Structure 1
């Protein structure tokens, strides 16, 4: 389903390359397991069930986990008004709208496609942002919906799920067994090492794709509203406000960072950029400044 969100050829190339590398890694991984005589069918079935649940129930799972509740236009007229306007500008179906009762200023979008999507904002971000800043955040999240980012990242994470399950299988089922149960390197140890390596590579690939998708969403949202400065202001304000949130509250929100508009981390507490779900704030702001220059603003 096409929208008026600006296409991103760089995103398309990175997505194709990442999916190719993950697919290649998956084929090699399964080949190694077969060569070792491992019956991986159970693991693949379990991983497939997890993938199915994530893909088809992502909207319900995310709302339940983050305490979001759907709101009507009567309950949140300003929020619905902004989303109505952006959806009309983008020529896309309106997603369901939800609010999560949390002081952590943030927003997220989820759902496998535009018809099943939901956009959720926290009460914390509603209190802190001006309307034009909130519009920039919502345009960013609607870009994720338009580009089906949740579906893409769910599929991309499948190999990591398989490798993680295989690691557990190796630890609990066969770490001490050798090929002939008498001598040689334990099969479980080989499975463990291969699974850890595959998980690490797939993790790095999906995180790199996630970071670029955030930059692409920033760009698409800024071009839709034609106000990259408003999105930059929202990013700066949200990041600054997150730094003032109690550490305990941030720990509760941290598992959902991959969904959020901005990661719920205090400055200096984030892990290396290589492992982050989002690009550094400075890079996102530089990206938006470049867009402002292109627009002559």
Structure 2
């Protein structure tokens, strides 16, 4: 059901992009929209992992430097049935983690140095299994596609103001498009991101057999993130296991993550149903 939901949301996002392109320049605008989307997705597919790792000054660590991390990921990767990803550490006290890479064979998991200070072994494994689930489910590719198409919608919507003409209905519709289309694209992108977080939580619970451990980790990470938000780029917020940004009203309205309480509730329901 979640897979169908994601397909429908991606189709809606693509349809919105084509619609905005048509408004900007009719048939030529549709072509521009499609070409822009393909180029942006191509660039993101091949280079997004290296870009985001450099953005956070993530450093690849060897098994000698981080034996606990490597041993846990090696064991969990085998259980999940995927190749062991590269491991990176980000210097920072705010605990968090993310996965990146275009596919299972070219993937990486990054954790902040602070995450290993507040989580016990089971909780850390729950977080790592969550990131491995993202890799296995190809969520990185899905999220990247959604983010780039949404960005293309925003870019084309801005062009609408400059290309608004009598044929397109004048400046008022152009301005309305420039305001409404980016909001709609963002809402759809956020819905996709939230759906994949639920699936990754469930995937972690199935691999570790300890949904309550991930629930405990999420509670700790959320509290720590609220107390000291990361200096994170908003465009990468969807990648982290918990929202690294401060949770004001607007941020919650367009959140990349489901409410922590809902995620914990679902995990505890899995425990009650016998997933251990």
* TM-score, normalised with respect to structure 1: 0.84
Partner in structure 2 of residue 233 of structure 1: 216
Larger Rg: 1
Partner in structure 2 of residue 5 of structure 1: none
Structure 1 residue runs of 4 or more that deviate by more than 6 Å after TM superposition: none
Partner in structure 2 of residue 261 of structure 1: 241
Q: Which 10-residue stretch deviates more, 105-114 or 250-259?
A: 250-259
2:207 and 2:230 map into 1 onto residues whose CA distance is: 33
The answer for unaligned runs of 5 or more in structure 2 is: none
1:151 and 1:88 map into 2 onto residues whose CA distance is: 22
Partner in structure 2 of residue 4 of structure 1: none
Partner in structure 1 of residue 23 of structure 2: 32
1:95 and 1:116 map into 2 onto residues whose CA distance is: 7
- How many Å apart are 1:223 and its aligned residue? 1.2
Deviation readout 1:43-66 (Å, 9 max, x if unpaired): 665554333221211110110111
**Correspondences of 1:24-103 after superposition (within 5 Å):** 24-35=15-26, 45-103=35-93
- How many Å apart are 1:16 and its aligned residue? 1.8
Partner in structure 2 of residue 128 of structure 1: 118
1:227 and 1:296 map into 2 onto residues whose CA distance is: 7
Partner in structure 1 of residue 166 of structure 2: 179
1:210 and 1:155 map into 2 onto residues whose CA distance is: 11
Secondary structure at the aligned position of 2:62 is classed as coil
- How many Å apart are 1:38 and its aligned residue? 6.4
- How many Å apart are 1:273 and its aligned residue? 4.2
8 Å CA contact retained: 2:13, 2:150: no
- How many Å apart are 1:18 and its aligned residue? 1.0
Deviation readout 1:83-133 (Å, 9 max, x if unpaired): 000011111111111000011100000111111110000001011111111
2:251 and 2:225 map into 1 onto residues whose CA distance is: 19
1:201 and 1:167 map into 2 onto residues whose CA distance is: 11
**Structure 1 pair 165–106 and aligned structure 2 pair: CA distance change class (3 A):** same
- How many Å apart are 1:226 and its aligned residue? 0.4
Aligned-pair RMSD on alpha carbons?
Answer: 2.4
* TM-score, normalised with respect to structure 2: 0.89
1:58 and 1:94 map into 2 onto residues whose CA distance is: 19
**Structure 1 pair 296–81 and aligned structure 2 pair: CA distance change class (3 A):** closer
Aligned residues: 275
